[in-house]
Chain A
């Protein structure tokens, strides 16, 4: 007598004696096209795995809403849409037993799964180590020009900073919802003498706020650490601890040392990439 398992509908094993299909949670009868027992859930629920907006799911003996061409049942409880939403092991399905699954949730889960797969692909593609050069090539020339203007402005007199080199300049670049590039410089930061001030700052307040407000996606944020110095103090040129604390994920974060004329790329972690300002501007 052969004991080889027989795999039938939905790839499930058919019991050789009863001719019923084992789905894990319960048996399915191919003869009558119904479950042999009512659906159940580990957490008590009035109608397990039901979507109260879909009457088909209220039938505890029906399979995949009586629509096997569209839905699949992998464990005897839920259709594939639910599994997409909750992960194949069902273990991450917090509250699934008591939460109805709607069509829109299934669609959203499918979209999210596709997006996650695309993100995974993109991550794999971008797994190459970043370099200062690779980041610099991602900065549009119009943004580079604005950064250069910020360096020049930081070295020029501004407000109380009558000698220049004692205030920060900064800016934000991004794209509108339509994809147009927006380069939006900031108002200058306050004057600070490093002998008497413990820090300088910028708050990225836009010169043109309506222009800034049109940005849907920020791609570059930059600021300049000034060149000014006294006999005993000057200003830090590379990214500071506070710079990293204020860094946001997504855009390229740049600080330029106006004194050492170096462009630093940083993030909220330990990214520490730099290149000369000349090289960044493509003139070296």
Chain B
């Protein structure tokens, strides 16, 4: 089974990844809430399909743990395509031993302007496990002008 487990202290090529701390005005606003220590998980990326279809927004997921792992996820709000992406990422999370608990995680997906011709790497800002902000440049197709060949 390919677990594609990525430890979050690693920084990967081509993906802006910032972990922990108060790194963005939009983040770091979290009221002090007891949360489990996250020890492993995969990097959340902007889903290509949602980026191509210009779907952005905020997803809220209620996460229930059993003291080690996620045992239940329930979407409170957000576009379904982004809800699925957020859930898929949360399911990769592993925690240190803790008291079983429930908390709400916010995934914010942002498409930035100006759009670029083709996909480019975005940035993921992680204030785990409560807040995640994933941004990516907008995508556009760039269809070229063609010189008309003169009739000979």
Contact = CB atoms under 8 A, between A and B. Distances in A.
A245 B120 CA distance: 11
Contacts, number: 124
A242 B141 contact: yes
Given A212-B54, A246-B52, A203 B115 contact: yes
B142 A240 contact: yes
B141 A223 contact: yes
Nearest to A174: B53
B90 to A, nearest CB: 15
Given A176-B80, A212-B55, A245 B146 contact: no
A140 to B, nearest CB: 17
B143 A235 contact: yes
Contacts of B9: none
A278 interface: no
A263 interface: no
A194 to B, nearest CB: 4
A254 interface: no
Given A199-B145, A246-B140, A205 B54 contact: yes
A199 B81 CA distance: 30
Given A199-B143, A246-B139, A248-B48, A215 B1 contact: no
Given A53-B68, A218-B49, A234-B148, A213 B55 contact: yes
Given A104-B69, A236-B143, A216 B84 contact: yes
A136 interface: no
Nearest to B139: A246
Nearest to A243: B141
A172 interface: yes
B141 A201 contact: yes
A86 B115 CA distance: 42
A202 B80 contact: no
A126 interface: no
Contacts of B119: 245-246
Contacts of A192: 145
B42 to A, nearest CB: 15
Interface of A: 53, 85-86, 94, 102, 104-105, 108-109, 112, 168, 172, 174, 176-177, 186, 192, 194-195, 197-206, 212-218, 221, 223, 225, 229, 231-236, 240, 242-243, 245-246, 248, 250-251
* Closest CB pairs A-B (n = 10): A194-B145, A216-B80, A213-B79, A242-B142, A245-B118, A199-B142, A201-B140, A203-B140, A240-B143, A85-B1
6 contacts: A102-B69, A201-B140, A203-B138, A235-B143, A235-B144, A250-B49
